[in-house]
Amino acid sequence: MEREFLNPLVALSEALAEAAARGAAATVTVDARDRWPASGVGYAADLVLTADHVIEREEIRVVLPDGRERTAVRISRDPATDLALLRVSEGSVPVLEIAEREPRVGQIVLALGRPTSEGIQASLGVITAVGGPLRTPWGGWLERYLRTDATMYPGFSGGPLIDGEGRAVGINTSGLAGIPLSIPIRLAWRVAEALAREGQVRRGYLGIRTQSVPLAPAQQEALGRPQSHGLLIVGVEEGSPAAQAGLRPGDILTAFQGHPVQEVEDLQTRLFGDVVGRSVEVEVLRGEERRTLSLIIGERREAWEAERWPFRGGPWRGFRRRWMPPWGPSWSR
């Protein structure tokens, strides 16, 4: 009897093809600019999430995976993440499946796009970096991003970055930092939820500039818990919520609403969502003394970007920069 032998390369190839087909089922074409169309993904039966910079005109055409064409309108956008939400006429958009596990460096992924009527396109790579926060060239602030060595072909913006099971780990864009990046899918989904519910994404603002620093043994002892790092406050904006609460340069921020903060990302995560206008408690070390202060979270304003770029498609179109805020990237916090 001839022994069956499963070639591992064939098995891998089949698995990747199945993953691509699964992700393709919810990847659509978004035709909203005069040049090459882009891609999008189904967020709900009548909603498509795509990259904001690919929307350059009012007339938007969405082509579903089965070839049916629909008209769409952009109902809201978030320049900080280069994401836009479209409402599609007559609904029936397949919804993208998202991965349950957090993306990891070294993970095999496929970048998908559907920029033409010829069908889905794919590019293989690995996640090379998981980073953030990131200051975008026009003053926005991206909480987290993925970088991959998968080739982002023309029209891949708005399409999904999927794992080996065909579930999305990110949304691809080339309109943020001048290089292709992916917005982590959980962040993208939170943005889409906020856009669908409120028409905007509100981000909290404290008015401090920080950097992560190690805590000395005496400082850890003052906290009464094991914590290796905190955020050293190196600047406080005049009149900001932090200034009004009494925070000052030299303080080390160690907790926000009872949650330890050791890296900038820890704080950024806490300032995302329904927090604007709320009273919160922050814990700081002043020398080796532990203090708790209360403050009212302000709202970080990024509307200036839309107001000062009076053309569609975002600030990259035309490469005109009217002004930039006078502070560095971490003033956004």
Give the DSSP letter of residue 329. G
Q: Is residue 315 part of a domain?
A: no
Q: Which helix (H) or strand (E) holds 242?
A: helix 241-245
Instruction: Give the pLDDT of residue 111.
Output: 98
Contact in structure between 160 and 154 (CB atoms under 8 Å): no
Same domain, 148 and 16: yes
Same domain, 242 and 161: no
Q: In total, how many domains does the chain have?
A: 2
Q: Flag whether pLDDT at 146 surpasses 90.
A: yes
Mean pLDDT, range 127-144, rounded to an integer: 76
Q: Flag whether pLDDT at 153 surpasses 60.
A: yes
What is the pLDDT of the chain when averaged over all its residues? Answer: 85
Q: For residue 246, what are its two tokens?
A: 């009494």
Same domain, 196 and 218: no
Residue 21: other Cβ atoms inside 10 A: 12
Q: For residue 222, what are its two tokens?
A: 């003052």
**Range of 150's domain?**
7-201
One-letter amino acid of 48 = V
Q: Which helix (H) or strand (E) holds 259?
A: strand 259-260
Which residues partner with 208 through β-bridges? 236
Residue 74: C-alpha distances to residues 57, 129, 255 (Å) = 10, 31, 39
pLDDT tens digits for range 301-323: 654 344 433 333 444 343 333 32
Residues annotated catalytic, as ranges: 53, 82, 157
Residue 20: C-alpha distances to residues 121, 161, 184, 221 (Å) = 9, 10, 18, 52
Q: Is the peptide bond before 133 cis (omega within 30 degrees of 0)?
A: yes
Same domain, 180 and 272: no
pLDDT tens digits for range 221-270: 999 999 999 999 999 999 999 999 999 999 999 999 999 999 877 887 78
